[in-house]
Amino acid sequence: MKTQRELTKMRDAELLRDYRSKLGEAMKRGGEINRRQIVEEVLATGRPRYYLQFTQAYNVMTRINHRGITGRKLTLKNEMWLEIYEKMRKTMAENEGLVMHEALARVLQSERASRYFITPRYAYRYIYDVQRAARNNN
């Protein structure tokens, strides 16, 4: 089983691939390249996998099932959990007799997120750090 740190690295690698793809498209179009705008576009339109540990996701789904989302404001992380919860409930409704942990496993394995659930600041910092490291190694 992968650790959350390994899963985060995998998500960040997918983010970097999506960013490089969008950057390549922007370079082909020509004109001015705004890296922040490209990062924001990737965050809004990217469809990454859910890089989560099953046990953590199951615990959160159980909590949502019993108490709903707690807290006053809807954070990016809570938005992600609610999206997974809705997909899990839909999978259960479409497959009679499917229990929650089986539906959750299907969602985590086969579904993609509607967007990246990370802040633009984190994404931009990560991409900047990767680019800086590449420049320093050359």
Asked whether the beta carbons of 106 and 54 are under 8 A apart, the reply is: no
The arithmetic mean of pLDDT across residues 103-107, rounded, is: 98
95 and 117 belong to one structural domain: no
99 and 121 belong to one structural domain: no
107 and 59 belong to one structural domain: yes
pLDDT, mean over the chain? 93
3-class secondary-structure state, position 49: strand
85 and 96 belong to one structural domain: yes
122 and 74 belong to one structural domain: no
41 and 68 belong to one structural domain: no
In the structure, what pLDDT confidence band is assigned to residue 138 with cuts at 50, 70 and 90? low
105 and 124 belong to one structural domain: no
pTM, 2 dp = 0.88
Cα–Cα distance for residue pair 130/97, rounded to 1 Å: 46
41 and 69 belong to one structural domain: no
For the stretch 40-88, pLDDT in tens is 999 999 999 999 999 999 999 999 999 887 667 789 999 999 999 999 9
60 and 107 belong to one structural domain: yes
How many structural domains are present in the chain? 2
50: left (phi over 0), alpha (psi -120 to 50) or beta: beta
5 and 17 belong to one structural domain: yes
| Segments forming the whole domain that contains residue 34 | 1-49+113-138
41 and 57 belong to one structural domain: no
67 and 107 belong to one structural domain: yes
